[in-house]
Amino acid sequence: MWESICLTLMATAGNNIGKVLQKKGTVILPPLSFKLKVISAYISNKLWVVGFLMDISGAILMLRALSQAPVSVIQPVSGCGLAILCVFSHFYLKEVMNALDWVGIALAGAGTIGVGFGGEEQNGSIVSLFHLPLMGFSVALLFALLDTWLRIYKRRRQDQELMHSEVIEEIIFGLESGILFGMASVISKMGFVFSEQGFSKIVVPICISISICCSATGFVYQTRGLKHGRAIVVSTCAAVASIVTGVLAGMLALGEHMPTSPVARVTLLLGWLFIILGVILLVSSTRLMALLPRPIRRHLRSNLEKNQNLRRSGSVRAKDPSPSAVIQASTLHHLVTSPAKEKA
């Protein structure tokens, strides 16, 4: 189990950090196209190449992790990608982190350890063909309800001639994209389980292809939410929905179950909870800091400035408020780039 968790952490680190390096590398590059000059420019850019190779390596490692451990363990642990990205940005990109960022990282780390201990007693997955139509119907019904809810609020917003997106629209787009990201991991895992049960080996690439389609569709939904909505709401809903979907679908569709030992069960549940809370804090720490009483904010800010002065060797760069960080490297094919923070 610990080997799979380590593989997942390495995979999600490669996905997140790789995409950030690719973005930094493309700052001086033209838009990607099939022109020979453009392709040569990308290949000759070392930063972009390193980021691309890290992203691909993360995808391969995630496949390996999914083939060894239950998706109800892999999916929550992959949510720690944001914590890894924050640490990388702090030490390598010299980005400033506040106290809540460090609390979120600590919660995500503690949650990972809890999932590792609690998930050790889980047995292998057994997929029942009768569960697959039920899972597909449940996801389709959930999306139908969310889309109906979205249409109602859009019609209401048009009738009232409101120009800005309502919070309910941001939540729905975030939930829909997160559900698709979570299902991508479940479907990939399903291919390995079918192969272990004696089905043809062709089911593995088929399931991986379907997983890629789910991730790409999730990217579209998340992009629609980020275009007009607030990144903090869309990103938080997507992150939490991806973890919850992976856990529930893994248990209902893949036959995964809770540990038999009460201690292991509690440890696993606490691990899931800590990871979710850590992700929420990392996404919304800037906004939450603004809600704290002014004396506490001043105290935390003064401590942060002291720490930055001690470690500053050059100029310290503030956080980039643009959509650059990747939240959910939660699946092996995550194509999403969404904001790590939204400035207050």
Question: Quick check: is 305 in a domain?
Answer: no
- What are 31's two structure tokens? 């838009």
User: Is residue 159 very low, low, confident or very high in pLDDT (cuts 50, 70, 90)?
Assistant: low
**Three-state DSSP state, 199:** coil
pLDDT tens digit sequence for 36-56: 888 888 888 888 889 889 988
pTM: 0.69
Q: How far apart are CA 73 and CA 8, in angstroms?
A: 10
pLDDT in tens, 96-125: 777 888 888 888 888 888 888 777 555 555
Q: What is the mean pLDDT of the chain?
A: 76
Q: Identify the DSSP state of 333.
A: T
| Domain enclosing residue 195, as ranges | 1-292
**Residue 334, in any domain of the structure:** no
Tell me, yes or no, whether 154 lies in a domain.
yes
Note whether 23 and 48 are within 8 A (CB).
no
Please give the tally of structural domains in the chain.
1
Which has more pLDDT, 31 or 318?
31
| pLDDT, position 322 | 37
CA 295 to chain CA centroid, Å, is 34
Residue 331 within any structural domain of the chain: no
Residue 319 is assigned to a structural domain of this protein: no
Mean pLDDT of 273-277: 89
Higher pLDDT, 131 or 329: 131
Share of the chain above pLDDT 90, in %: 1
Per the listing, tokens 């800010």 go with 301
- DSSP per position, 204-240: HHHHHHHHHHHHHHHHHHHHHHHHHS-HHHHHHHHHH
Asked if residue 26 belongs to a domain, the reply is: yes
Q: What is the DSSP letter of 48?
A: H
What are φ and ψ of residue 45, in 5° steps? -85, 110
Q: What token pair was written down for 287?
A: 């906004």
The fraction of the chain above a pLDDT of 70, given in percent, is 77
304 belongs to a structural domain? no
Query: What pLDDT is stored for residue 69 in this prediction?
Result: 80
φ, ψ for residue 95, nearest 5 deg: -85, 150
- Residue 329, pLDDT > 50, answer no
Q: Which helix (H) or strand (E) holds 107?
A: helix 99-118
Q: Is residue 106 a contact partner of residue 266, using CB atoms and an 8 Å limit?
A: no
140 in a structural domain: yes
pLDDT of 181: 87
